[in-house]
Amino acid sequence: MNYEEIREKYNPTRQNIKVKVLFIGESPPKSTFFYCANSKLYSATKEAFEKAYGRKIPNSLQCFMLLGCYLIDLYNEPGRKAKKLCGLEVYEKEKEELIQRLASQIAQFNPHFIIAVHENVCSWSIISAIEALEILKERDKTPNFNLNAVRCLPFPKNCERGKQAYVGALVEIIKEMMQKNILPRELPKMH
């Protein structure tokens, strides 16, 4: 099974659940994957949700899906690094294709919050969110988000300080989403 097939198993829309929070990562690492529950991003995200909800979450991938959270990546190829949006190493055609693909995904899910994970992913996410707002406008659909709902978090790197910066910031965002009734105050019941 490839990464995209594994990711799709946890797509909330497959269960008729609205994507409320769209996480955007850089790319799957070469040897781990968020949706295999074995990556740094998975561990740090799980920790943040457990802290925000004040309890352990045994089946965290299913819970993530039931909450309406979903992670997509800027690039699907494992290990591919995001280039700076304004860097010379990104050709205009590639840049436009990437923005359009990401904008299309954002418009399709029309989430309430967008969380970009990694400093290089942040600028791509903001530009794509602007494009997604235009797409929704053209389709006469009301957007569930605005640019204030696009948040940028540092990737939880190898060091404990980097991981805790990610976890701490995500806990605050989760609590904010609870206050705004985007996420429930209680975890969903799982079978």
pLDDT digits (tens, 9 = 90+) for 64-85: 999 999 999 988 877 767 666 5
Whether the per-residue pLDDT at 46 is higher than 90: the answer is yes
Cα–Cα distance, 167 to 170 (Å, whole number): 5
CA distances for 157 relative to 1, 8, 41, 42, angstroms: 27, 25, 9, 12
Please classify residue 33 by burial: count the beta carbons closer than 10 Å to its beta carbon, then call 0-12 exposed, 13-18 middle and 19+ buried: buried
Give CATH for domain 19-179: 3.40.470.10
- Report strand pairing: 69-73 vs 150-153: unpaired
Neighbours of 157 (CB within 10 A): 14
Give the end-to-end CA distance of the chain in Å, rounded to a whole number: 25
Over residues 12-27, the mean pLDDT reads 95
Give bridge partners of residue 152 from the DSSP assignment: 116
Confirm whether pTM is higher than 0.85. yes
pLDDT band for position 190 (50/70/90)? confident
Cα–Cα distance, 71 to 8 (Å, whole number): 10
Q: Any idea where the domains of the chain sit in the sequence?
A: 19-179
DSSP labels, 24-74: EES---SS--GGGT-SHHHHHHHHHHHHHHTS--TTHHHHHHHTTEEEEES
pLDDT digits (tens, 9 = 90+) for 147-177: 999 999 998 877 788 899 999 999 999 999 9
pLDDT digits (tens, 9 = 90+) for 28-39: 888 899 999 999
At 93 the pLDDT is 72
Element (H, E) at 21: strand 21-25
At 120 the pLDDT is 82
